[in-house]
Structure 1
Amino acid sequence: MRLARDEGSFADAAFDTVYLGGGTPSLAPPEELGRLLAGARTLLGARPDAWITLEANPEQVTTAACAAWRDLGIAAVSLGVQSFDEDDLAFLGRGHSPEQGADAARTALAAGFPWVSLDLIYGLPGQSEEAWQRNLETAAALGPHHLSCYQLTIHDGTPFGFRAARGELAEMPEPAQARLFSLTRKSLSRLGFPAYEVSNFARAPELRSRHNRKYWDHTPYLGIGLGAHSFAWDARGARRWWNERKIRPWTAKVAAAQRPLAGEETLDIAALRLEALLLGLRTAEGIDLDRFRERYGLDLAAANEALLARLTAEDLAERAGSRLRLTPRGLAVADGLAARFTVA
C-alpha cells in the first residue's frame, strides 16, 4: 500500500469507497481483512466512513463470518452465487450447491448488511429461457438489494478458452443470447429490479453500486493487488496502469520495494471519448451530451448527426433534451453501437 501511495496521483486522495474483490477475499480471516482495512485508512487515505464492499463465495458466508465482517465496518456484500441450478454450477466449476447459494443470501440479509448483491451468469451452453427465468425468480424472491447478471464470455488463456480451442465448448449463438438479455431486463423489471446498466439491477436508485459506478465515468481509482488496474488524471494527462497478474513477479517487485507494475498507458482525448461513450451508453441514464461536450471537448450529436438519425429510425437510440440513451434493442448491442460513433 505504501508503494501504491507513493505513485503520487493519489497523494491527497480521500477514498470514500473500498472494494475487496478480485478473487475470494472472504477466505481471509477477519483479522487479515482488518489489517487490510486499517492500511487502507492509514496509508491510502480511505475515509473512516468509507463504503466498504466485500466479494464473498457462498461457502464462506456464515452467521459468525457476517458478524465479524460487520464489526470491521463492511457495509456491502457481493455474493458469487452464479446460479441456482445444479447443472449450471457443475459446468461453472463452483463449489457450492443451489441451496448453499440461497442460504448465503438469507444469512447475509439477516446479518443486517445495508447492501447485499447476488451475481448470476447466463448464456451457458444449452441453457433454456425457462431455466434462466427460474434463476431470476429465485434470486429476486430472496430479497437482495441488487443483482448483477453477466453473459458468459469465453476468453483465451482461461479453462473455458482451452476447452473452446479444443472444440469442446462454444458461446451461445447471438440470437439466443439476445433473447436471454431481453428476458433478463423484462423479468427483473417486473420483479422490482429495474436495470440501471447493461448488467446491473437495483431495487431503488439509492441501491445502485456506489463503487462500480465510478469506473463508468472516469472517476480516479486505485488498485492494489494482483492484476489490479488504476486510473488517474494528473499533470501527465489521463493514465491507466495495471499490476502483475501472477504472484511471483508481483511479490518479487514488492519485496524489492518496487511498484508491481505490469504496464501503463496514457489515454489521448479520442480514447477517453470512446471510453466515455462506450460506458455511458451501457447505462439506463445514457449520456448527458452537454456534459460530454464540456468534459471531452466534442459535440457528440453534431459530429454524429447522420448516425444518430439512423439509430433513432432503427429504434436503437433516442434523444430526450440533452440526454442520449439506447433503447432496449440498442442496449443489447451497446458495445457494437459505440464503435460506430465518430469521436476524433
Structure 2
Amino acid sequence: MSEPGLYVHIPFCSAICPYCDFAVVTDTTANRRERYTKSLLRELETRQGPAVYDTLYFGGGTPSLLEPDGLGAILSAAQLTSGARVFLEANPEDVDDDAVAGWKELGVDTLTLGIQSFQDKVLDLLGRRHSADASRRALEVAKAASFDTVSIDLIFGWPGQRLSDWQRELEDAVALEPDHVSCYQLTIHAKTMFGRRKREGRLVELDDTMQGELFRESHHVLGAAGYNGYEVSSFARGPEHRSRHNEKYWNHTPYLGVGPSAHAFDGRRSRSWNVRSFFAWEKHLDRDESPVEGREVLGDEDLLLEVLMLRFRTREGVDFETLETRFGVDLLETNRELVSRLSDEGLVEIEGRRLSPTIDGLAVADSLASAFELQLPHDRCQHPSL
C-alpha cells in the first residue's frame, strides 16, 4: 500500500459560480487569509499524527488566491515524504509569470487550471471571471514554466450544449497540448443559483441521452489524440501525468483532509468529515476543539459496494482475485450470469479474473457496481488496501 495523501482545502473565491456546491467564502482580505492559514496549521498539528504523506493537494475554492507565504507555511508543516508530489489548483486570471515562478519555487509539481471552457459565451453562462483568451494565455504561461504536469479542467453538459460545441472544446484543448485533461459533467445542485433557476423553470438540464453522447465524445476525441482515459473524467498523455493523489481515492488508500468540509479515510473502513461552515470550522480550532463533525464505520457490504463503485470508475476495473482475498467472496463466480450479460451488452471486458468497463460501461459505472450480488460472509474484511 502506498503512503497516504493529504488534501488541504483553500475556500477562498473572488465570487461564487452559479453551479458551485463547495464550501467557499468570498472574503479574501489579507487578514482573513492569514487567520485561515493559522487555523489550518493548528488542524495539521493536531491531526497528522505519525503519518507521512507522499501527495499534497491544494484544492478549493481557489488555492491560487492564497499568497506563497501561506502555501509555504502549510508545506513546511505537512509531514511529507522525500519526493512527495504537490498539486495546486489555480484560476486562469491568477496565472502570470511571477505567480508560476513562485509556485515552482514552492515545489508545486502539478498545476491544474480551472479553465472550464474555451468559449466566452460558456464562461459567461458558468459565471466565470476569465475570458477564453485568458484561458489560452494561462495554459501557455503554465507550460512555459515546465511544471511536471499541467492539467486543465473542462465542464460539459451545460443547458443547450450541442455535440459540435463540445467537439470544438475538445479540439481546442488538444491543440494546446496540456499534459492532463479532466472533463466534468455539470451537476445542478439544489442549493446553488443554478438549482434555484431550475426550480423556477428558468434553467433546463441537458437530457441524459445528450449527456451520454458528450461523455463518450470526450473519450473518443481525447483517446484518438493520445490521452488515456484512465478514469471516468480523467485523461493523461502518459502514465507519469496521471493524478497520483486522486488515485488514492479510487484505490482506497488512506488520506487526510483538512479545512472546512474536508474528508478523511483510514484506508480500512473508517471515514470522517469536517464541519462545512468556514466560520464554525474556525471557531472550533480557536477553542482547541476538533473540527470533525461526523464519522462513519463502513460495514463489510457497504465497503465492498464502495470498492466496486470506485474501481468501476477506472479503466483498470475490478480485480476479483484481490477482492476475494480481502472480502472472502468470489464475486466472479457468484455473478457469472450478470458478468456475461454485461459483456454481451458491451459494458465490460473480462480478462482472466479482471473485469474492466468499456467507455459505455464508464458512462454507467455506479449502476454496474449496484447490479452485483454481494453475498458476503460475516467478518471477512481483513485487508486495508486493494
What's the TM-score bracket when you normalise by the shorter of the two chains? over 0.9
Alignment partner, residue 345 of structure 2: 314
Question: Secondary structure in 2 aligned to 1:223?
Answer: strand
Alignment partner, residue 266 of structure 1: 297
Report whether the alignment pairs 1:30 with 2:68: yes
Alignment partner, residue 138 of structure 2: 104
Higher mean C-alpha displacement, 198-207 vs 153-162:
153-162
Contact residue 152 and residue 171 of structure 1 kept, 8 A: no
Alignment partner, residue 275 of structure 2: 244
Q: CA deviation at 1:6?
A: 3.8
Higher mean C-alpha displacement, 209-218 vs 311-320:
311-320
Report whether the alignment pairs 1:74 with 2:108: yes
Contact residue 55 and residue 79 of structure 1 kept, 8 A: yes
Structure 2: gaps of 5 or more residues: 1-40, 377-386
In the TM superposition, structure 1's runs of 4+ consecutive aligned residues that sit over 6 Å from their partners are: none
Could you tell me how far apart the structure 1 residues matched to 2:83 and 2:45 are?
20
Q: CA deviation at 1:296?
A: 2.7
Alignment partner, residue 171 of structure 2: 137
Please report the TM-score for the alignment, with normalisation by the length of structure 2.
Answer: 0.84
Alignment partner, residue 308 of structure 2: 277
Could you tell me how far apart the structure 2 residues matched to 1:210 and 1:284 are?
15
Count residues in correspondence.
335
Q: Deviations over 1:65-117 (max 9, x none)?
A: 00000101111101100000111111110000001011111101101101110
Alignment partner, residue 303 of structure 1: 334
Question: Secondary structure in 2 aligned to 1:249?
Answer: helix
Q: Deviations over 1:3-27 (max 9, x none)?
A: 45544xx532110000001210101
Q: Deviations over 1:124-155 (max 9, x none)?
A: 11111111111111111111110000111111
Higher mean C-alpha displacement, 26-35 vs 154-163:
154-163
Alignment counterpart, residue 154 of structure 2, candidates 112, 120, 123: 120
Please report the TM-score for the alignment, with normalisation by the length of structure 1.
Answer: 0.94
Alignment partner, residue 52 of structure 1: 86
Could you tell me how far apart the structure 2 residues matched to 1:142 and 1:177 are?
25
Alignment counterpart, residue 188 of structure 2, candidates 146, 149, 154: 154
Question: Secondary structure in 1 aligned to 2:152?
Answer: strand
Could you tell me how far apart the structure 1 residues matched to 2:271 and 2:373 are?
23
Q: Deviations over 1:213-260 (max 9, x none)?
A: 000011000000111010004xxx611111111111101101011111
Alignment partner, residue 121 of structure 2: 87
Could you tell me how far apart the structure 1 residues matched to 2:163 and 2:334 are?
40
Alignment partner, residue 321 of structure 2: 290
Alignment counterpart, residue 337 of structure 1, candidates 368, 374, 378: 368
Alignment partner, residue 217 of structure 1: 251
Report whether the alignment pairs 1:257 with 2:288: yes
Contact residue 147 and residue 200 of structure 1 kept, 8 A: yes
Q: Deviations over 1:278-331 (max 9, x none)?
A: 110111111111112112332111222221121112121121012101122222
